[in-house]
Each structure stands twice: as structure tokens, then as C-alpha cells.
Structure 1
Amino acid sequence: MELQIRNLSKTYPNGTQALKNVNLTIPTGMFGLLGPNGAGKSSLMRTIATLQEADSGSIMLGDLDVLKQKEEVRKVLGYLPQEFGVYPKVNAEDLLDHMAVLKGLHNKKERQAVVAALLQQTNLYDVRKKNLGGYSGGMKQRFGIAQALLGNPKIIIVDEPTAGLDPAERNRFHNLLCEIGEDRVVILSTHIVSDVSDLCRQMAIINKGEVLLTGDPLRVMDDLSGKIFKRMIGKEELMEYQLQYNVISSRLFAGKTLVHIYSETRPDYTFETVQPDLEDVYFTQITKAQAAPAVNEVLKAMS
């Protein structure tokens, strides 16, 4: 099964165009939707999850029309939103059991078996009687995945799931996502580049509601081979370098500033070639998108 999104657009009443003619084909497995905050990721996820209407376009999940057959889609959908609240004075087992009833699992014996299996799968069985208010951030996220897996969904959406998790909980969550993503569509929406590079076989970069790039992370990194260069400079030199070169990223390192630039050829002998990673791909695409309006204005003024 695959998810097909065609010409999807959404503008909010305040005039913000959250989605601009989005086209994506999302196959079975882990798919990474990467973009900065405010890029339109959550708007796209909410639309796929049948929580908001689109202005135009279509979304098909196999034979299901997501925009028209909302009730049927909800039967095969699991969703972990960015803001996932829990009842703090209820334990995990009881709340998951209650959610299972809402999902349509009315046979008590069958429901208990499903709840126990999901708590085992998410490594929460030993703390199933503990109130959710006492759970860590990572434990709450794993509980969120447990509820998303109720009903054995064909598509699971997780929106910014690792933001704020410590490294150990992040690794546990990654392992869990890999496990559940083997035989269904799992969409991972995030602004954390390493989440996508670690987990996803296919990806898209989105910014200001527009899809900038799609493909296999390894392939898109290879496409940049020989075009990313780095150099250590003084902090006071950064602005000069930004004016002179296509600086895609900069960060402090050992009291100096490490810059990465995009160039078809080595600028000069002082620059060192870098083996591109997904962060370089991401920053190259975002930088190009941000520069496009300015270039268009210059061309318009010259015409």
C-alpha cells in the first residue's frame, strides 16, 4: 500500500498558505518529512489524519479517498501528534484499555491481550500500573505509539516525536519506529535531520508549504558529492564569507566558526572538500529556497 498526495493546497483564514501544490508518493516503510518549524509539516500531517480540510488536491491511501472517506481512513490510521496529552492520574494499562474500546475492541479478553502485547512492544509493561503523570517524556512518547498501534493500522503518522528526548530515550524510540515500520506506511515528520538519516529509506524536504526535494537519503547525499566545502574562519569573518560564498551552514567549533559552503568547484586551496551528509542536503535546499525570492526580485527589476 502507498499514500499518494496530488496538488494539495491549504490556506488558513488569516491568509497563511500552509501547503502549496504538494505532490508526494509515500510507499510502505519509514518516510521522513523534514523541514524547519513552520514549514507546513504539521498542516500536512493533520490533513492526512483527516483533522482538517484541504482547499484543493487529493490524497489516496490505496483505494481510499482520504479527503472524502474520513471514517474509513480513521479505522486504518494511527496518529501520534506533536502535542500528545495524557490523563496524569490514570495508569497506562487502564488508559490504553479505554482507548482500545474507543477503537472498537469490545471483546474484553481480546482487548486485554492486545493491550498487554502493545505495552510489551513499547517496553512499558513493567510500569503499566504507574500513573502516566509519573512517566518521563520518552515513556509518554512510547505510550503514544502504543495507542497509535491500536487496531493494527495500515498507516501511522508521528509528528516531531523525538523533540526533547534524551539520547537514550531517543535511541529506544528509534528502535521502536524501525520495528513498526517494516510492513506499513510510517510518516515521520521532524525538523531533526539525524532522525531521517538514521531511520528512513525515503524522504522529502518541505519549506513554506512547498516540497523542495524527494528521494532516497543516500542518493540525495551522493548527488552533492564534490560540491560541499568547509573552512575554519574567525567569527568576525562570517558576514564577509556569506557575501562572497554560498554559505549553507555555520557553527562554532573550538572558538572559531566552521562554515560549509555549496559550490560547483573548489573556491580556492584553503577550502577542504566535505563528504556530504543529510544536513548538508537539508541546508543546501533551504538556503536555495530562501534565496529564490531575492533572485526573482532582481530579475524582475532588470526586465
Structure 2
Amino acid sequence: MELVIQNLSKTYPNGTQALKNINLTIPTGMFGLLGPNGAGKSSLMRTIATLQEADSGSIMLGNLDVLRQKEEMRKVLGYLPQEFGVYPKVSAEEMLDHFAVLKGISNSRERKEIVTALLQQTNLYDVRKKNLGGYSGGMKQRFGIAQALLGNPKIIIVDEPTAGLDPAERNRFHNLLSEIGENIIVILSTHIVEDVTDLCRNFAIINKGEVLLTGDPLHVIDNLRGRIWRKFIDKHELVEHQLQYEVISSRLFAGKTIIHVLSDVQPNPDFDIVTPDLEDVYFSRIHEAAQREKEEQKELVVN
């Protein structure tokens, strides 16, 4: 089964165009939606989840028209939003049982079996009697996945799920998502590049409401081989290098600034070639989009 998004656009009443003619085909498995904060990821997720209307375009899940058959879509959807609230004085077992009732699982014996299985799958069974207010951030996220899995969904959406998790909880969450994504569509919306690198066979980069790139992470990384160069500089030299070279990213390391430059040839002997990764792909596309926007603005001023 595939989720096919065609010509999807959304403008909010304040004039912000959150989605600009989005076209995506998302197959079964883990799909990463990568972009900075404010890129339009959450707007796209909310639209797929039938939580807001689109201005134009279509979304099809197999033969299901998502934008017109909202109730049917909700029956096959699991959703873990970025802000997932819980009742702090209710146990995980009680809360999951309540969610199961809301999902239409009326038989108490069946419901108990499902709740037990999901708590075991998310490694929360041993703390099932503990109030949700005492859960760590990672435990709450795993509980969020447990409720998203109720009703055997065909598609699950997780929005910024690992933000704020410590490394151990992040690894546990990754393993859980990887297991879930073997048989259904799982859309992982994030600004954390490593999450997509670790988990996803397909991904898209979205920025300012537009899709900049789609593909297999390994393939798009390979396309950058021989084009990423690194140099250590002093912090005060950054602006000068940005004016002279295509600097796509910079970060601090041991008191020095490391810059990555996009170039088909060695910029000068002070630069070393580096093996690219998905972060380089991400920053190069964001940089290229920013450059195009500058050129378009210049043309508007001239004309």
C-alpha cells in the first residue's frame, strides 16, 4: 500500500503558505520527513491525519480518499503528535484501556489482551500500574506509540518523537519504530537528521512548505561524493568564507569552527575532502533553496 499526495497546498488565514503544491509517494516502511522547524512538516502531518483541511490537492491511501473519507481514514490511522498530553494520575494500563474503548474495542476480554500485548511490545508492561505522571520522556513516547497502534492501523504518523530524549531512550524508541515499520507505513517527521539516517529507507526534505528532495538516503548521499570539503577556521573568519565559498554548514569543535563547503573541485589546498553524510545532503539543499530565493528577490527588485 502507498500514500500518494498530489498538488497539496495549504494557506492559513494569516497569509502563511504552509504547504506549496506538495507531491509525495510514500510506500510501506519507514519514511522520513526532514526539515527545519517551521518547514511545514506538522502542517502536512495534520492534513494527512484529517485534523485540518487542505486548500487544494489530494491524498490517497490505496483506494481511500483521505481528504473526503475522513472517518474511514481515522479508523486506519495511528497518530503520535509532537505535543502528546497524558493524565498524570492515571496508570498506563488504565489509560490505554480507555483509548481502546474510544477506538471501538468493546469486548473487555479482547481489550485486555490487546492492551497487554501493546504494553509488552513497547516494553512498558512491568510499569503498567505506574501513573503516567511518573513516566520519563522516553516512556511517555513509547506509551504514545502503544496508543497509536490500537486498532491495527495501516499508517502511523509520529511528529518529532525523539526531541528531548536521552541517548538510551532514543535508541529504544528507534528499535520500536523500526520493528513497527516492517509491515505498515510509518511517517517520521523530524528535524533530527540522524533519526532519518538510522531508520528510513526513503525520505523527503521539506522547507518553507516545498519538497526540495526525495529518495533513498544512501543514494542521495552517494551523489555528493567528491563535492564536500572541510576546513578548520577561527570563528571571526566565518563571514569571509561564507562570502568566498558555498559554505553549507558550520559547527564548533574544540574551540575551532569547522565549515563544510560544497564544490566540484578543491576550493584551495587548505580544504580536505570528506565523506558526505545525510546532514551534508540536508544542508546543501537548504542552502541551495536559500540561494534561489535570494536570486528571485533580486530579480523582483530589478524588474
Give the TM-score range, shorter chain: over 0.9
Q: Tell me the alpha carbon deviations over residues 145-165 of structure 1, each in whole angstroms, 9 at most, x when there is no partner.
A: 000000010000000000000
Q: Report 1:230-249 matches (<5 A).
A: 230-249=230-249
Query: SS where residue 141 of structure 1 aligns?
Result: helix
Q: Tell me the alpha carbon deviations over residues 111-148 of structure 1, each in whole angstroms, 9 at most, x when there is no partner.
A: 10000000000000000000000000000000000000
- Distance in 2, Cα, partners of 1:121 & 1:108: 20
- Distance in 1, Cα, partners of 2:140 & 2:234: 43
- Distance in 1, Cα, partners of 2:4 & 2:130: 41
Q: Is 1:169–2:169 an aligned residue pair?
A: yes
Match of 2:28 in 1: 28
RMSD: 0.8
- Distance in 2, Cα, partners of 1:104 & 1:161: 26
Match of 1:145 in 2: 145
- Distance in 2, Cα, partners of 1:117 & 1:300: 59
- Distance in 2, Cα, partners of 1:294 & 1:39: 18
Residue 302 (structure 1) shift: 5.6
Query: SS where residue 95 of structure 1 aligns?
Result: helix
- Distance in 1, Cα, partners of 2:209 & 2:265: 31
Q: How many residues align structurally?
A: 303
Task: Give the AA of the match of 1:125.
Answer: Y
Task: Give the AA of the match of 1:76.
Answer: V
Match of 1:8 in 2: 8
Unaligned runs of 5+ in 1: none
Q: Is 1:196–2:206 an aligned residue pair?
A: no
Query: SS where residue 82 of structure 2 aligns?
Result: coil
- Distance in 2, Cα, partners of 1:137 & 1:207: 28
Q: Is 1:207–2:207 an aligned residue pair?
A: yes
Task: Give the AA of the match of 1:246.
Answer: E
Query: SS where residue 53 of structure 1 aligns?
Result: coil
Residue 300 (structure 1) shift: 4.7
Q: Tell me the alpha carbon deviations over residues 5-53 of structure 1, each in whole angstroms, 9 at most, x when there is no partner.
A: 0000000000000000000000000000000000000000000000000
- Distance in 2, Cα, partners of 1:278 & 1:151: 34
Match of 2:71 in 1: 71
Q: Report 1:42-81 matches (<5 A).
A: 42-81=42-81
Task: Give the AA of the match of 1:196.
Answer: V
Q: Is 1:298–2:269 an aligned residue pair?
A: no
Match of 1:102 in 2: 102
Unaligned runs of 5+ in 2: none
- Distance in 1, Cα, partners of 2:302 & 2:91: 66
- Distance in 2, Cα, partners of 1:297 & 1:140: 45
- Distance in 2, Cα, partners of 1:275 & 1:34: 21
- Distance in 2, Cα, partners of 1:85 & 1:298: 45
Off by >6 Å, runs of 4+ in structure 1: none
- Distance in 2, Cα, partners of 1:35 & 1:300: 27
Match of 2:262 in 1: 262
Q: Tell me the alpha carbon deviations over residues 269-296 of structure 1, each in whole angstroms, 9 at most, x when there is no partner.
A: 1110111000000000111111112112
Match of 2:37 in 1: 37
Q: Tell me the alpha carbon deviations over residues 64-98 of structure 1, each in whole angstroms, 9 at most, x when there is no partner.
A: 00000000000100000000000000000001001
Q: Is 1:85–2:49 an aligned residue pair?
A: no
- Distance in 1, Cα, partners of 2:38 & 2:236: 30
Query: SS where residue 59 of structure 1 aligns?
Result: strand
Query: SS where residue 248 of structure 1 aligns?
Result: strand
Task: Give the AA of the match of 1:243.
Answer: L
Query: SS where residue 31 of structure 2 aligns?
Result: strand
